Amino acid sequence: MDHGFVRIAAAVPVGRVADCRYNAGKIAELARMASAEGAAVVVFPELSITAYTCGDLFHQKTLLDAAEKALEWMLSETASLDAAIIAGLPVRLDNQLFNCAVVFKNGKILGVIPKSYIPGYNEFYEERWFAEAVSAISRSVKLCWQEVPFGTDIIFCDRDDPVRCFGVEICEDLWMPLPPSSYQAMAGAVMLFNLSASNETIGKKKYRDSLIRQQSGRCTAAYAYASAGVGESTTDLVFAGHSMITEYSGVVAEGERFSREDNVIFADIDIQRLVAERMKNTGFMEAARGSALKDSDPANGGKGAAVFPGAYRKIMLDIPGAPLDAEGVKGTLRRPLSPRPFVPEDEREREARCREIFSIQTAGLAKRLEHTKLQKSLVAVSGGLDSTLALLVAAETHKMLKRPLKDIIAYTMPGFGTTNHTYSNAVALIGSLGAELREIDIKPACLLHFRDIGHDPGQCDVTYENVQARERTQVLMDAANKEGGLVLGTGDLSELALGWCTYNGDHMSMYSVNCGIPKTLVRYMVKWVADTIPDEKLKNVLYSIADTPISPELLPPDSKGDILQKTEDVVGPYELHDFFLYHAVRYGAPPAKIIYLASVAFKGVYGKDEIKKWLGVFFRRFFSQQFKRSCVPDGPKVGTVSLSPRGDWRMPSDAAAEEWLREPDE
């Protein structure tokens, strides 16, 4: 099963200038390698059959004839391969010479795409040899005894699954204000391929990287780039053989530059993800509709790069899915897959992410305090991760607004499950930050309430737990009225997803500062603050809190006074639930795919049966607990996944989860 992935490759052979037979042999060899690894499409550099730096030799009939003969040989040599091959060569048509990409498979040329924009201002000076695509008169060309489509109005689609569709552009096309690939994407292409010959100068790679990433992001597509390598002439320029594959602005594979060896990179492209993104972004096709209105002649054909999206000729072929059900290396998923998608793996990027989130939280709280003209912030501090982060945000916000830290009233409210460890950490944290500490033992009030509603205090059920949570919330709300303050919510995104909060208890606040942050990231946020502060006492308290098991502490501790009620023993590991949340909500991934991805990401940590079990828990709770999310307090969105009912996630509270629970078994 391919789970919606298609494997593609970008290949950079070490060729020879003007030696078409040698270059064809290299291309065929690397194409065989790519096909054996399960690649559905493999792209080679610009003019890869002749080499890019042939200069005035492009006007020699000998070279042009040799290039076509080399292509004819390759058609026969690669006829049995499953991969579609995209190679570059000069093509004669309409008394002109065009710099072209030729797409072929199973011995048949599927289409020829000319370069749209020909540089005539820099060291390449291609206008000396090649015509722009707009100069073409014909819409087909006879090549290797085949009459084949010619033009920039061509995209290639799978016969059985038309969303598996790709487009092709050449080098300079990407550098233009409106690249052809933008129109190809609007016409349906989710994979874009670029045959390039970009030389190396100081700083050029960085700019080129940004172009590739941005184009894949703008087009909500994968973008595979293969540039001419070290076999090119170095008379005036040096080529490094840069290859790169991006997906929706993220790099999924990159080759080594300046390599003296042939190079092939692979990536499994998540077509389902890209299609889901496009469907959610209802503005994606607005530009296409605009083009349709402006184009009075939809049959514009290949008259340039800006082809009306509806006028593209679709060439049908077989584009197989990634061979993920195969044994060995061939079946290995070829793309980065983090088990913690909300937490950057790179330390410097993670620090920057934490700093950005902290800034968003404090800016949101500062605006709410200024608008309400309330001077004080109230927060319940349990000694756990979430309340710790909320208190840290409050402290930073009060500093920003130049308000005294004593205007933060931090309540510790010991209940039946509070341990000495968390209580001590809460008191030490509040003291280290300089907030006002207030302690209220809620046990007497809870016992009175048990009596009022006729509940046996010895029955430690959901009523026993929720009475404590609601008592704490009542204290905070009433104290806020008395003090003229704002109650800060402490619950995080993961708890919202699972509904792991007491309705009208910790579920409620006046502003929820953590609502956009998943549990796995909250822990890193607390550690990040600990890493960046000079106060050793506060630093040690934060490290201790970060290492404490996650618990609501609503049930009595064990005989040793330690935490007995551990959240992850009940609902499952938060690292799994955050993984499920990311892929289900962000990309709409179906359950079977999520199980596969989690099996890869957590290999050796969780077995498939365990993953399936906790995914069932996730979907059952996610659906049944929507009623809590439908009335959550205001709070800042910090990432691409948010469950606010006012913006990012609008779901009926009585939707059934059966289809999501049934799919993995079917």
Domain count, the chain: 2
**611 & 523 share domain:** yes
Its sign, for the CA torsion 93, 90, 193, 321, is positive
Q: What is the CATH number of the domain that holds 529?
A: 3.40.50.620
Same domain, 24 and 165: yes
CB atoms < 10 A from the CB of 615, how many? 24
| Spatial CB neighbours of 255, under 8 Å, sequence gap ≥ 6 | 10, 12, 241, 242, 243, 244, 263, 264, 265
- Domain boundary among the residues 267, 301, 331 is at 331
54-80 mean pLDDT:
97
Do residue 505 and residue 638 come from a single domain?
yes
Where are the strands (E) in 464-570, listed by range?
A: 485-489, 511-512
The CATH number that applies at residue 159 is 3.60.110.10
In whole numbers, what is the pLDDT of the chain averaged over residues?
Answer: 93
Distances (CA, A) of 562 to 25, 172, 366, 461: 70, 65, 37, 20
Task: Take residue 597 and report the two structure tokens written for it.
Answer: 């991805």
- Cα 272 from Cα 335, distance rounded (Å): 15
455 part of a folded domain: yes
Catalytic residue of the set 26, 37, 46, 396 = 46
If you average pLDDT over residues 482-511, what whole number do you get? 96
Q: For this structure, is 527 an active site residue? A: no
| Whether residue 115 lies in the annotated active site | yes
Same domain for 145 and 262:
yes
Let me know if residue 180 belongs to a domain.
yes
Instruction: Print the domain residue range for 650.
Output: 347-662
Q: Which of 171, 354, 446, 515 is catalytic?
A: 171
Crossing angle of helices 519-532 and 347-372, in 10° steps, is 90
pLDDT tens, residue by residue, 401-451:
999 999 999 999 999 999 999 999 999 999 999 999 999 999 999 999 999
pLDDT at 306: 52
In this structure, the answer to whether residues 375 and 327 fall within a common structural domain is no
Q: Which of 300, 331, 362 is the last residue of a domain?
A: 331
pLDDT at position 442, please? 96
Last residue of a domain, one of 331, 359, 379: 331
Residue 141: its H or E element: strand 140-143
Element (H, E) at 195: strand 191-196
Decide if 338 is inside a domain. no
Tokens of residue 440, six digits: 């209220």
Question: Which stretch of 23-37, 60-74, 137-151, 300-314 has the lowest confidence by average pLDDT?
Answer: 300-314
Predicted pLDDT of residue 304? 45
Q: Are residues 309 and 447 in the same domain?
A: no
Contacts of 59 (CB under 8 A, 6+ apart): 97, 129
Strands 5-12 and 263-270, bridge-based pairing: antiparallel
Asked whether residue 423 falls in the same domain as residue 303, the answer is no
Instruction: Report yes or no: 386 and 516 within 8 Å, Cβ to Cβ.
Output: no
Domain assignment of residue 272, yes or no: yes
Predicted confidence at residue 283, as pLDDT, reads 83
Domain identity same for 359 and 321: no
Strand-pairing partners, residue 11, are 264
List, for residues 176-190, the tens digit of each pLDDT value: 999 999 999 999 999
| Average pLDDT for 594-608 | 96
Q: Are residues 313 and 357 in the same domain?
A: no
What's the Cα-to-Cα distance from 103 to each of 143, 162, 299, 596, rounded to whole Å? 12, 18, 23, 33
Among 53, 45, 44, CA closest to 19: 53
The verdict on residue 337 lying in a domain is no
Catalytic annotation, pick one of 37, 68, 100, 115: 115
Does 550 lie in the same domain as 435?
yes
Q: Is the distance from CB of 641 to CB of 582 less than 8 angstroms?
A: yes
Assess whether 289 and 437 both reside in one domain.
Answer: no
- Is residue 216 predicted with pLDDT exceeding 60? yes
Residues ≥6 apart with Cβ < 8 Å to 137: 94
DSSP string of 293-308?
HH-S-TT-TTSSS---
Higher pLDDT, 297 or 40: 40
Say what percent of the chain tops pLDDT 70.
96
Residue 373 bears catalytic tag: no
pTM (two decimals): 0.92
Neighbours of 148 (CB within 10 A): 19
Q: Lowest mean pLDDT of 14-23, 110-119, 297-306, 652-661, name the range.
A: 297-306
Would residue 339 count as lying in a domain? no
CB 322 within 8 A of CB 334: yes
Name the band, by pLDDT with cuts 50, 70 and 90, for residue 300: very low
Q: Are 327 and 352 in the same domain?
A: no
Query: How far is residue 343's CA from residue 582's CA, in Å, rounded to a whole number?
Result: 11
* 297 within a domain of the structure (yes/no): yes
Residue 342 domain flag: no
